[in-house]
Every structure is written in C-alpha cells, then in structure tokens.
C-alpha cells in the first residue's frame, strides 16, 4: 500500500478494494459488513427506528481529547440517543484528499473502531471517495446511524412551565479544545474536548423518568440549543449564570478570543429538560453515570419572556440569549 492516498484509491477498482480489505474490514469486522454487498442486511428491529446523520469537517483532525474519527462516531451516536434511540448500526463514508497520509488514515480508522466498540455499535456499510489535492482538507467523514426507539415522545413541544433545565457537565470544552489545536490559544493546561458517547447517560436520564426533551449542545452551544427549545412558543427559559459549569481554562480561552462559552460547542454534554418532580432523580441518575458526574440544574422553564432564553447574571442583571449569529467557530465538528 502507498504511503499517501492517491486518486487510484477512489477508483472503485483494485486500490479501493485494497483500502477496504486491508484497512476498513479488519478494523470493523462483523458479518453484515463482510459480505461487502452494495448495502448491509440487518435483522428486523424490535421497535420503531431512530435515524440520524452528520458530516465531519473538523480542522485539525486531531485535538486534545479526540480526533475526527472519535467525533464521527460520537456525533451520530449522540444524535440517535438524544432522539430517544438506542444506537445499533453506523455507516461510514470517507472523502479523502489526494496526498493524505495513509498512516493518519489508519489511525483515524482505529479511533472509529475503538469508539464504536466502546459504544456497542457496528459499522456495517460504507463508501470511500478521493478528491484531487486542493479540493478537500485531508479527510472529511460522514456517519449515519440507526437505532431502536427506547423513549417515544421526546420533544421540545412537551416542555411545560416549571420544568428544570439540566446539563451533564461543564460547557464549551470541545470548541475551546479545537481552537487550542489550531494554535489560536497560547496555553493548554487541562484543556480537553468533552467528546464522548452519551448512550449511557441518556439511558440513565430516561430511566429516571419525566424527561421532556434531550439535546447535545454541539454547534451553537448551550445558548443556541436552549433558544431552539422555546422559539415560537409561549415559554421562556431562565438560566442562572452562577450555576452553569465552565472550566476555568475554557473561560480563559474564550475571554482571550472574545468568545462566549455558552455559544462554544460541546460534543459529549447533554441538556435535559425534565418535569420538576423528577428533576432531582434525573440529576442523581446522571451523576452516578460516567460522563455525567458534573451534572447540575442550570435553570427553569418559565413564561416570563415568551420565546426567549434569559440569563440571570452573576452581577444580578439579566440578558437575552439568542441563537448564534455568524460563524463564531467554523469547522469545529
């Protein structure tokens, strides 16, 4: 095998077969994949399905706490979980740029395989394309995920006044970690992406009961996600700034660049809106689950500012938070 990706590896011929047989199939081994048909045949599911997809164009492809491969598994797995599903199967599609290092590709494939194994999902079908130098950026990935529905009815429309707004840990770490990896922040410290799969955490929260809606605050961060929950509705969300966990490193990085941690992406945090009577139980369930130790209640659903998110600041004032406008952090996922 060559040391770099050439256009031949996207031909659909001998080189493509080599990539599949020597790197991809050995990494993901499972019966559905090994048939190498045009599509994977999967057993009849026991319930309704959840289906999601994401493309990943993060630059650089490696950052503290993760890489594009880990992100490609977590991103889609988490979307399936947030929609109430238990993820089972992934597709994987790679758009490689001519000249990309074969060793880096192997490392990314290994990261995908490791993360998928940890989550318990199988990569069952895939595709590889190669574009000429100057028409990509090393590697872009796409994953699509199929899960079975374990919690029907999750919806922002189920949110009611008095509901609690919970977050599973400190916010904005992923965005800051990618900026550090780009050399835009002069200090590292303990700065690390929160990139992690949320299947256990979402299952724990759902089992505790009373969950209205789940969402992972990726692009646009916590502020954008919560804004989407209440826009066009008669409800508002009031956040207590002092309750929102932000790592000091992330706070410092954002301050340096004039960014707001509430708009910085997470890739392994979960927002849950729950009925008031189960909020404490959901919080305790999240705290007992790996990745949710730092779960806290950050606010309440009210009717004070219909359609808006209001931040009660540490100084005693308040300001409205809208959706992210402009591209605060391009290509962070």
Site for a copy of itself in 8-67 (CB under 8 A): 8, 10-17, 35, 37-45, 47-57
Would you list the DSSP string of 124-154?
EEEEEEEE-TTSS-SEEEEEEEEEEESSTT-
State the residue for tokens 């730092």.
294
Applying CB under 8 A, which of residues 3, 134, 183, 290 lies at the interface with a copy of itself?
Answer: 134
The binder of a copy of itself chosen from 135, 160, 288, 319 (CB under 8 A): 135
CB of 163 to a copy of itself, least distance (A): 18
First to last CA, the chain: 29
β-bridge mates for residue 129, sequence order: 95
Select from 104, 106, 110, 137 the one that contacts a copy of itself (CB under 8 A): 137
Query: Minimum CB separation from a copy of itself for residue 182, in Å?
Result: 13
Report in angstroms how near the CB of residue 79 gets to a copy of itself at its nearest: 4
**What Rg, from alpha-carbon coordinates, does the chain have?**
21
Half-sphere exposure of 215 (CA within 13 A, CB side): 21
7 sits near a copy of itself (criterion: CB under 8 A): yes
x/- letters, 291..330, toward a copy of itself (CB under 8 A): -------------------------------xxxxxxxxx
H/E stretch holding 213: strand 211-215
Q: Which stretch binds a copy of itself (CB under 8 A): 2-10, 177-185, 249-257, 274-282?
A: 2-10
Cα pseudo-dihedral 65, 70, 72, 73, rounded to 10: -130
SS3 59: coil
Q: Shortest distance, CB of residue 152 to a copy of itself, whole angstroms?
A: 7
Smallest distance from a copy of itself to CB 45, Å: 6
Q: Is the peptide bond before 60 cis (omega within 30 degrees of 0)?
A: yes
- For position 251 contacting a copy of itself by CB under 8 A, the verdict is no
| Residue among 305, 333, 332 at smallest CA distance from 321 | 305
Binding mask 170-209 for a copy of itself (x = CB under 8 A): ----------------------------------------
Note whether 218 binds a copy of itself by CB under 8 A: yes
Output the DSSP codes for 25-36.
Answer: HHHH--HHHHT-
Select 17 or 101, whichever has its Cβ closest to a copy of itself: 17
**Burial (0-12, 13-18, 19+ Cβ within 10 Å), 145:** buried
Of 215 and 269, CB closest to a copy of itself: 215
Cβ proximity to a copy of itself: between 41 and 243 the closer is: 41
Residue 64 vs 85, nearer CB to a copy of itself: 85
Nearest to 70 by CA among 40, 37, 107: 107
Among 24, 68, 74, 80, binds a copy of itself (CB under 8 A): 80
Q: Does 147 bind a copy of itself (CB under 8 A)?
A: yes
Q: How many residues bind a copy of itself (CB under 8 A)?
A: 86
Q: What is the token pair recorded at 220?
A: 């646009």
Hey, what are 306's tokens? 């219909």
Using CB under 8 A, which residues numbered 89 to 108 contact a copy of itself? 89, 91-95
For residue 110 the two structure tokens come to: 């290994």
Assess contact for 245 and 294: CB atoms under 8 A: yes
Residues 152-171 that bind a copy of itself (CB under 8 A): 152, 154-155
């Amino acid at each position: 095998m060559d040391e770099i990706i050439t256009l031949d590896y996207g031909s659909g011929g001998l080189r493509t077969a080599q990539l599949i047989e020597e790197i991809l199939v050995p990494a993901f081994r499972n019966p559905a994949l090994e048939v190498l048909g045009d599509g994977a045949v999967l057993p009849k599911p026991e319930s309704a399905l959840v289906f999601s997809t994401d493309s990943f164009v993060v630059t650089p492809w490696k950052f503290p706490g993760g890489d594009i491969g880990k992100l490609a598994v977590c991103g889609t797995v988490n979307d399936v979980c947030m929609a109430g599903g238990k993820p089972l199967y992934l597709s994987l599609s790679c758009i490689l740029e001519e000249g990309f290092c074969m060793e880096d590709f192997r490392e990314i494939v290994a990261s995908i395989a490791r993360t998928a194994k940890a989550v318990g999902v199988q990569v069952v079908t895939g595709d590889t394309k190669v574009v000429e130098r100057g028409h990509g950026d090393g590697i872009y990935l796409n994953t699509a995920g199929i899960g079975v529905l374990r919690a029907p009815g999750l919806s922002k429309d189920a949110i009611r006044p008095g509901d609690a707004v919970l977050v599973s840990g400190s916010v904005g770490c992923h965005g800051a970690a990618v900026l550090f990896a780009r050399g835009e922040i002069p200090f590292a410290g303990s700065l690390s992406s929160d990139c992690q799969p949320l299947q256990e955490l979402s299952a724990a929260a759902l089992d505790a009961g009373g969950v209205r809606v789940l969402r992972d605050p990726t692009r646009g961060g916590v502020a954008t996600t919560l804004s989407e929950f209440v826009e066009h509705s008669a409800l508002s969300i009031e956040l207590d700034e002092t309750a929102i966990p932000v790592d000091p490193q992330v706070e410092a990085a954002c301050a340096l660049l004039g960014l707001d941690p509430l708009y910085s992406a997470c890739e392994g945090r979960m927002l849950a809106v729950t009925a008031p009577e189960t909020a404490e139980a959901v919080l305790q369930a999240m705290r007992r689950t790996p990745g949710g130790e730092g779960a806290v209640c950050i606010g309440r659903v009210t009717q004070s500012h219909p359609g808006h998110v209001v931040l009660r600041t540490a100084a005693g004032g308040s300001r409205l938070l809208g959706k992210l406008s402009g591209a605060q952090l391009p290509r962070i996922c």
